[in-house]
Amino acid sequence: MNLLNFLDEPLTLRDRVAHWIQGAIALQVQTSLREIQDCPTTKAVQPSLEPIPSIREIPVNFVKKETGVFYVSAIAFRLAKQWQKSAAEIAQSLIESIVQLHPANNSKAKVHSFAAVGQNFIPTANLQGWIFFEVTNQGLAQWLQDRICYVHEIDKFSSSEVNLEQNPQKPLRISTGSVGRGSNFTEPKNPTRNSTEMFEAQFLHARCCSILRLGMQENLIQFDRTLLPNPQSNDLSQPLSHDLSQPLSQPLSDPLISPCEFRITGPQPLPWLTEQGSLRLQHPAEKRLVSQLCTAWDQIAQADFELSPEQSWKLIRGTIPAFQCFYAECPIFGEERRREEAIAQIRLGLVALTRDLLHYLLEHPLYIIAPTEL
């Protein structure tokens, strides 16, 4: 593991926590090897002769709490036998290594602050050896903004590509502004049998698109003008000429742009934090939706972007009520917009993130059209 590139963090919170743990394990191993080389006669125990575990192999789980976003890891228990130490001792040493990895804690510092890890996580360990990571306000805001700006890398995780010229019998089943070169969308292998459930998911996706259009018309957010149906205007109501009920034989746009014509480019960043550094997302319904978004993308990444239809529907069933509760209890326009524009903007950000998640779950694992309007 190249520690020089350590700060190139992955895009899910779960993987970011595992990323820091992986770096701490690598640092522990390197330190031990250096001690053995410097003093060959030492009887120090080498932490591990096995390969450093990958991010996906490191046990990290989301913890549901009303007070914030937390993750817990049992990595110390897994390493105890290899390193011939207690889990509590390993957990504490890993936290110290995590702190050392943060650039703010350079070698000249006399005291390393545990609260300064990336300014995104606060790691702690209990007496048993469990390691807990609290996601800070800044860490959560950074992750939300990263997802807003995220460019899909779905093709990187695809096992194969469909060549439209060589495989004309495999049409793409897509929505407007969602596919393009190298996409491997084919006819559904396991189509859903619940048409009501499918329509509910499609309706919610279209509803999110409608809310985002209104947000742009109210000058609360801006989209990438080059991705609009008509780049010379801000009108997203002009439908494309293709009939969405029919499969496509030609791509409409580049799939690496996300979320296509609904990609928010302003304000950048969205005002997730107040000037004092507090998170503006304080309503319980906002927190529940953020929790659902975190766990959904964690599971998608854990599956290497290859969810089964059953896994996809389970995430959709969790997302729909979370969004409906959020939208019912957290107004965006009208009085709320006049009271504090920043609140309206970050709520539109949550709408965009929900749309992005539904778009992926519908079109990639399920091969179901995610319409932008109904």
Assess whether 64 and 188 both reside in one domain: no
**Non-local CB neighbours of 214 within 8 Å, separated by 6+ positions:** 333
Residue 256 has pLDDT above 90, yes or no: no
Assess whether 156 and 290 both reside in one domain: yes
Q: Residue 179: which of 259, 233, 296, 245 has the closest Cα? A: 259
Residue 3: pLDDT band with limits 50, 70, 90: very low
How many structural domains is the chain composed of?
2
30 in a domain, yes or no?
yes
Assess whether 23 and 75 both reside in one domain: yes
Assess whether 305 and 175 both reside in one domain: yes
Assess whether 113 and 147 both reside in one domain: no
Assess whether 159 and 38 both reside in one domain: no
Which domain covers residue 286, as residue numbers?
A: 141-363
Of the residues 106, 135, 164, which one is the last residue of a structural domain?
135
Assess whether 95 and 156 both reside in one domain: no
- How many other CB atoms are found less than 10 A from the CB of residue 237? 10
Residue 176 has pLDDT above 60, yes or no: no
369 in a domain, yes or no?
no
Assess whether 35 and 153 both reside in one domain: no
Q: Write out the two tokens for 131.
A: 């390691």
Assess whether 204 and 92 both reside in one domain: no
What is the model's pLDDT at position 36?
A: 62
Assess whether 146 and 122 both reside in one domain: no
What is the model's pLDDT at position 121?
A: 87
Whole-angstrom Cα distance, residue 23 to residue 6? 7
3-state secondary structure of 301: helix
Residue 253 has pLDDT above 50, yes or no: no
Q: Residue 13: which of 73, 75, 93, 83 has the closest Cα? A: 73
Helix 87-101 to helix 13-38 angle, to the nearest 10 degrees? 100
β-strand partners of 124: 132
Helices (H), 218-334: 284-302, 309-329
Q: What percent of the chain has pLDDT over 90?
A: 43
Lowest mean pLDDT among 71-80, 106-115, 260-269, 326-335: 106-115
Assess whether 349 and 202 both reside in one domain: yes
